[in-house]
Amino acid sequence: MCNSNGTCRKLAGGAMCPSYRVTKDEQHLTRGRANSLRLAISGQLGPDAFTGPEMKRTLDLCV
């Protein structure tokens, strides 16, 4: 569960978000994925939010 505190942005130590450590892109961060899903659930990303290419890119590196 993401609470948007940024803990997953750590670059050293621990086991948080290896895809973010490599890309340094908020989209590939636990918080970025959670925000994308929240926007899709609330309808703010349009009718194809869950099946579109942008959501695929957002979730593609999730481990």
- For 41, the 3-state DSSP assignment is helix
Backbone angles phi, psi at 21, to 5 degrees: -60, -35
Let me know the angle formed at the C-alpha of 59 by 20 and 15, rounded to the nearest 5 degrees: 40
Closest to 26 (Cα-Cα) out of 52, 1, 61: 61
pTM for this predicted structure: 0.76
Question: In the chain, where are the structural domains located?
Answer: 24-63
Contacts of residue 62, Cβ cutoff 8 Å, sequence gap at least 6: 19, 33
Q: What is the pLDDT of residues 6-53, one digit of tens each?
A: 777 777 766 677 888 888 888 888 888 889 999 999 999 999 999 999
